Amino acid sequence: MRHPLSRPAARLAPLLAGLALAAPLAASAAPDLDDWGAVRDAARGQNVYWNAWGGDTRTNGYIAWVAQRMAERHGVEVVHVKLDDTGTAVSRVVAEKAAGNVDEGSIDLIWINGENFAAMRERELLYGPFAEALPNFALTRPEANPEVVTDFTLPTEGYESPWGKAQITFYYDSRELRGDSDELRGDGEGVAEPPGSIEALLDWARAHPGRFTYPRIPDFTGSTFLKQALIALTDRREALYAPVEESDFAAVTAPLWEYLDALHPHLWRDGRQFPDSGPALRGLMGDGELALAFTFYPSEPAAAVADFELPESTRSYVLDDGTLGNVHFVAIPFNSPHKAGALVLANFLLSPEAQAHKQDLTVWGDRTVLDVAHLDEATRSLFAIDAENPAMLAPEALHKTLAEPHPSWMTALQAAWQARYTAR
């Protein structure tokens, strides 16, 4: 997810039109979605290549568990193709289409959302609509939870199936920050409260130079930080929910650059260097280099404490006005040769068993997309969140969710950031 679609799509349009002529779409081996039994039968014995970002071991461990279950239950061999960047997979499908490969693609399922989904939809690289045909999809109650069918303002139209929920969550070491233990830090930064807003973050960074940073753009988590800051700072928030071309980018984003220019000198490494990814922030927190960090996965801090990566004094919170949240999905490329297997896998990912296992702190801690309140009693108990865990965010904190801007903003912000801060 680190790579931006940094070129304007307009320039690509004629090229793609030419390609579409050269390689007509053939929905290869498309299973009959009305007959789920037949889909399951067709899936048996298939190898499903699931391309998913592989930068986090907990996610990888969960996917390995899924693979094992799929082999046992459905006779489907799931191969996790670990990406360092979801853009790579998009590029691969584009390349395959360009080479006229319409039925023997190398990707069967892809973990995706936001600008990558928008790009694949725009270029007609996805198979679908399929989501509503998945028996477990109804458990998400889309009519009551529009976020499971909306991806960065775009309707998913059944071309991707929801998998999990993320929301920006800040965390810090209370022993250091609040001076809960005064044995070590006697340097005066002791009793400060963690910043509750983007504006307060700047003051906090001034007071604690070198103790905060964000991942290097175009990293996904880093880009989300930019959007979070932009939402807080701009006076034209509504413009962010329409394509970027429809507004004056420079004017809308001017407060953001002003803010970043002021913030950077007080960041880790004076803002001349940024960590590679969201998980890298966690590593720096664990090493004591940072005092404040954030993540897209609300339960990550608690999980990391259990894994010895963060100290037990870790605490989580969200900003006072709420933080950005989104749903992440899985989609099937148009040229996947194992669509039946991919469908059965997507359906399994939505099962209460798989969703509950995913939410388990000791496994991954990614929140479920199912409407838990409407599940039956026994199933609901699987999703109980351990409110006792001190590093865990209080569940009510997550009600303050800000919606993702239109995907074109992500791309534009990334390009502008890179042009502004590369080789500076």
Partner 1 sequence: MLLRLTPTLIVTLLVGPILAGLAMALLPAFGYLPALGGESLSLAPWRELLAQPGLARSTGLSLAVGLVTTAVSLAAVLLFLAGAAGTRLDRWLRRAVSPLLSLPHAAAAFGLAFLIAPSGLIARLLSPGLTGWERPPDLVILQDPWGLSLMAGLILKEIPFLLLMSLAALPQLDAPRRVAMARSLGYRPTIAWLKTVAPALYPLIRLPVYAVIAFATSVVDVALILGPTLPPTLAVAVLEWFNDPDLSMRFLAAAGAVLQLGVTLAALALWWALECLVRRLGKRWLVNGARVRGDRLLRLAGRGILLANTLAAGLGLVGLALASLAGFWRFPAALPDPFTLQHWQRALPTLGGPVTTTLLIAVAATLPALVLALAALENEQRGARRPAQGRLRSALTLLYLPLIVPQIAFLFGLVVLLEGLGLRARLGLVIFAHLLFVLPYVFLSLAEAYRRLDPRWARLALSLGHSPAGVFWRVRLPMLLAPLLTAAAVGLAVSIGQYLPTLLPGAGRVATVTTEAVALAGGGNGRVIGVWALVQAALPLLGFIVALGLPRLLWSNRRGLRGTP
**Residues in region 213-242 near partner 1 by CB under 8 A:** 216
Binding mask 36-65 for partner 1 (x = CB under 8 A): -------------x-x--xxxx--xx--x-
Residue 350 in contact with residue 83, Cβ under 8 Å?
A: no
394 binds partner 1 (CB under 8 A): no
Query: Binding of partner 1 at residue 5 (CB under 8 A)?
Result: yes
Total interface residues for partner 1 by CB under 8 A: 79
Measured CA to CA, the distance from residue 402 to residue 319 in angstroms comes to 11
Q: With respect to partner 1, which residue has the nearer C-beta, 88 or 234?
A: 88
280/343 with CB nearer partner 1: 280
Give min distance, CB of 17 to partner 1, in A. 9
183 binds partner 1 (CB under 8 A): no
Nearest residue (CB) to partner 1, 85 versus 404 = 85
Residues numbered 77 to 136 that lie near partner 1 (CB under 8 A) are 79, 81-85, 87-92, 94-96, 98-101, 104, 106, 116, 119
399: three-class secondary structure by DSSP? helix
- Considering only residues 264 to 283 of the shown chain, the ones binding partner 1 according to CB under 8 A are 268-270, 272-277, 279-283
Task: Give me the 64-83 binding string for partner 1, x by CB under 8 A, dash otherwise.
Answer: x--------------x-xxx
Q: Return the residue of 77, 147, 189, 309 that touches partner 1, per CB under 8 A.
A: 309
Beta strands in 175-229 (DSSP E): none
Pairing verdict, β 314-317 and 169-173? antiparallel
Span near partner 1 by CB under 8 A; candidates 6-14, 220-228, 352-360, 369-377 = 6-14
SS3 389: coil
| CA–CA separation, 76 and 344 (whole Å) | 9
| 3-state helix/strand/coil string of 225-272 | HHHHHHHHHCCCHHHHHCCHHHCCHHHHHHHHHHHHHHHHHHCHHHHC
Cα–Cα distances in angstroms (integers) from residue 29 to residues 33, 108, 256, 340, 385, in the given order: 12, 12, 48, 8, 41
Query: Is 344 near partner 1 (CB under 8 A)?
Result: no
Angle between helices 57-74 and 352-359 (to 10 degrees): 160
